[in-house]
A and B are shown apart, each in its own frame.
Chain A
Amino acid sequence: MNLSPTSRSGRPLGAAGPLASLVVGLMTVIGLGCAAVGVLPPSLADAAGPAPSQTSELAGPQTSEPASPLSALDLRPTPRTPAQPAPEKPVPSVPEPDPASLPDIRVVDAAPRSERSSKAAQPVRMRIAAVDLDVGVRPTGVAKDGSMELPDTVRRAGWYRFGATPSERSGTTVIAAHVDTRSEGLGPFARLTSARRGDRIIVTDRSGDEHAYRLLSRRQIDRTRLPVDDLFDRDGPPRLVVLTCGGAYDARSGYRDNVVVIAEPDR
């Protein structure tokens, strides 16, 4: 679908006046509407980009890269974990340089400990009933090329084992699967694009406990711009991040986008 060139090509300058105002008006609406949607065709994005001044003012120094909408909207909400203002003075809990106020210093035996943190709550199954998605989940790590390792089959999803488990109080639990493979065709994660805000997601962990989430957002993001450090966060509020591929497909480079679903615990 080619939507944009019509507004740009071969139009007499004299016709620009009323049309331009209409276009700008529409763009303003689209720009705000797409903050929730997250995806814009290029001509609209270019036009809407510099316009709203509140973005650059509040988000700090403007870089050439667009700011990540994910961290902004879903991963670090203000209500539950209010942003700490940067205090001029050290907060009281931080020891002052004056040693008299260094009362309780943690002292531990430094002998080596071989036990590793056990992740008892690692996910083994994920369900989104609203889109008839029900897959087994196994722990995965990092592939040779540095990307997240995924099961070879569309029938199974991978849980990023270096990230959080659903029982942890901070950080994202990341679950991802192939949308398709050449041998199997489309898999259950193809239906992720039908999931909607508010849909319930159930993650079952190894001990049989079920962790319920409520879908906050679904977006398609250019794979080359995926904000991985936000999506694979370990310190922020607990979130479930579900990933697959989507968007336009190129035989050489594959899918252009990642489909990114973010959900919060449903308490």
Chain B
Amino acid sequence: MRRRILAIGAAAALALSGLAVPAHAADQAQLSVLHGVPGLTVDVYVNGERTLNNFKPGSLAGPLKLDEGTYTVAITAADAEDDSDPAIGPIDLKLASGKNYTAVAHLEENGDPTATLFTNDTSKTDAGQGRLTVRHVAAAPAVDILAGGDPVVEGLKNPDEASLDLDASTIEAAVAAAGTTEPVIGPADVAVEEGVLTIAYAWGSLDDENLKLATQTISGLHSGPGGVHAGEAGLAPSGALPGVLAALVIGLAGALLVRRSAQPAATRSTS
């Protein structure tokens, strides 16, 4: 016999309605900005207005919650009067509601400054797992990403990314030229926490010997475990009916009995 659970009653229903995510939270886009151009302190202009001042290499700003739409971003030297002579851009960032983005100012493989808009994978992770995304935004050829000395991502090129879901743990991450295991960055400990997206960026320049790792984390991806299996022998009493229910059921049964006793014997025999 399978019992059913009911959520009944105004109190319950009212409280349930409180579970709804506020509409604006789901409808807005989130944008973070990572500065991955070595040696250049900048200002960041959004739609012509200075939004980040004296933004230093290796820094992460945000997240900004923005309405869906297209935003024009220009990056200038920190002493610029306005965005008329940008060092990078202007570029148009098209942001969709409910999505999570990181705009990265970085070097191309050949060393030219550029900017790339990445969409962060904030879909749910399994219980006990976290997600690691690696992004190649450095002036360097294709690389392998090593975890504990072993390649977990191979042949990653600028400005590409790769993602993997892992059991929550701290991994020893390193970046090596593709096909090699000699680190050009790291090894460094990167914590992959449960229900958290950790994004690792390889940035800087191989030729200038300033390759580095930057990380960004986004939490709230967690989901509950698949269940709780908390018994194996069948010794627990199968559960007496709760008092109120039992009383009512007894009452109901009694009513039925009374009713039945008034019916012909032939009918009773069918039950």
Cβ-defined contact, A105 with B61, below 8 A: yes
By a CB distance below 8 angstroms, the chain B residues around A59 are 7, 12-13, 16-17
Given known contacts A42-B1, A49-B6, A180-B236, A23 and B194 CB-to-CB distance under 8 angstroms: no
By a CB distance below 8 angstroms, the chain A residues around B229 are 143, 145, 147, 150, 223, 245, 254
A72 in complex: contacting residue of B13, B46, B193, CB < 8 Å: B13
B190 in complex: contacting residue of A49, A85, A114, CB < 8 Å: A114
Instruction: Digitize B236-248: 1 where CB-to-A-CB distance is under 8 Å, 0 elsewhere.
Output: 1111011011001
Interface residues of A, dominant DSSP: mixed
Interface-located stretch among B108-116, B139-147, B154-162, B211-219: B211-219
B149 contacts partner chain A, Cβ-Cβ < 8 Å: no
Known contacts A90-B24, A106-B62; 19 additional CB pairs below 8 A are A30-B245, A34-B6, A34-B245, A39-B245, A40-B6, A66-B7, A78-B18, A83-B15, A83-B19, A91-B24, A94-B65, A97-B66, A105-B51, A112-B215, A113-B215, A116-B193, A143-B225, A235-B220, A255-B230
Cβ-defined contact, A111 with B256, below 8 A: no
Within 8 A of B (CB), among A41-95: 41-42, 45-46, 48-49, 52, 54-55, 57-60, 66-69, 71-73, 76-78, 82-87, 89-91, 94-95
A117 in complex: contacting residue of B22, B58, B193, B232, CB < 8 Å: B193
Given known contacts A38-B5, A112-B214, A76 and B18 CB-to-CB distance under 8 angstroms: yes
B90 contacts partner chain A, Cβ-Cβ < 8 Å: no
Cβ-defined contact, A58 with B263, below 8 A: no
A6 in complex: contacting residue of B64, B128, B220, B253, CB < 8 Å: B253
By a CB distance below 8 angstroms, the chain B residues around A178 are 230-232
By a CB distance below 8 angstroms, the chain B residues around A35 are 6-9, 12
A228 contacts partner chain B, Cβ-Cβ < 8 Å: yes
Cβ-defined contact, A228 with B190, below 8 A: no
Closest 7 CB pairs of A and B: A83-B18, A228-B224, A142-B128, A245-B231, A10-B270, A249-B234, A58-B13
Given known contacts A87-B24, A112-B190, A141-B128, A33 and B249 CB-to-CB distance under 8 angstroms: no
Given known contacts A112-B215, A229-B223, A254-B231, A58 and B16 CB-to-CB distance under 8 angstroms: yes
Within 8 A of A (CB), among B1-42: 1-20, 22-24, 28, 34
By a CB distance below 8 angstroms, the chain B residues around A7 are 252, 256
B121 contacts partner chain A, Cβ-Cβ < 8 Å: no
Q: How far, in whole Å, are A68 and B232 apart by their CA atoms in the complex?
A: 26
- Chain A nearest CB: distance from B59 CB in Å? 5
B3 in complex: contacting residue of A42, A72, A85, A186, CB < 8 Å: A42
Cβ-defined contact, A111 with B7, below 8 A: no
Cβ contacts A to B, 18 pairs, < 8 Å: A2-B1, A15-B259, A39-B3, A42-B1, A97-B66, A102-B51, A102-B64, A117-B193, A147-B228, A150-B229, A162-B195, A181-B231, A181-B232, A186-B233, A193-B236, A225-B5, A257-B3, A258-B227
Cβ-defined contact, A86 with B7, below 8 A: no
- Chain B nearest CB: distance from A179 CB in Å? 4
Given known contacts A37-B244, A254-B231, A94 and B24 CB-to-CB distance under 8 angstroms: yes
Q: How far, in whole Å, are A259 and B243 apart by their CA atoms in the complex?
A: 16
Number of A-B residue pairs at CB separation under 8 A: 377
Cβ-defined contact, B233 with A181, below 8 A: yes
In the complex, the chain B residue whose C-beta lies closest to that of A45 is B4
Within 8 A of A (CB), among B62-83: 62, 64-67, 69, 71
Given known contacts A35-B7, A49-B4, A83-B18, A162 and B128 CB-to-CB distance under 8 angstroms: yes
Cβ-defined contact, A45 with B47, below 8 A: no
Instruction: Digitize B119-151: 1 where CB-to-A-CB distance is under 8 Å, 0 elsewhere.
Output: 000000011100000000000000000000000
By a CB distance below 8 angstroms, the chain A residues around B179 are none
A189 contacts partner chain B, Cβ-Cβ < 8 Å: yes
B55 contacts partner chain A, Cβ-Cβ < 8 Å: yes
Cβ-defined contact, B227 with A108, below 8 A: no
On chain A, the number of residues with a Cβ less than 8 Å from chain B's Cβ atoms is: 131
- Chain B nearest CB: distance from A234 CB in Å? 6
A222 contacts partner chain B, Cβ-Cβ < 8 Å: yes
B178 contacts partner chain A, Cβ-Cβ < 8 Å: no
Cβ-defined contact, A114 with B188, below 8 A: yes
Cβ-defined contact, A95 with B239, below 8 A: no
B52 contacts partner chain A, Cβ-Cβ < 8 Å: yes
In the complex, the chain B residue whose C-beta lies closest to that of A223 is B227
A159 contacts partner chain B, Cβ-Cβ < 8 Å: no
B168 contacts partner chain A, Cβ-Cβ < 8 Å: yes
Cβ-defined contact, A76 with B47, below 8 A: no
Cβ-defined contact, B23 with A110, below 8 A: no
In the complex, the chain B residue whose C-beta lies closest to that of A150 is B230
A107 contacts partner chain B, Cβ-Cβ < 8 Å: yes
Cβ-defined contact, B16 with A71, below 8 A: yes
By a CB distance below 8 angstroms, the chain A residues around B48 are 99
- Chain A nearest CB: distance from B37 CB in Å? 13
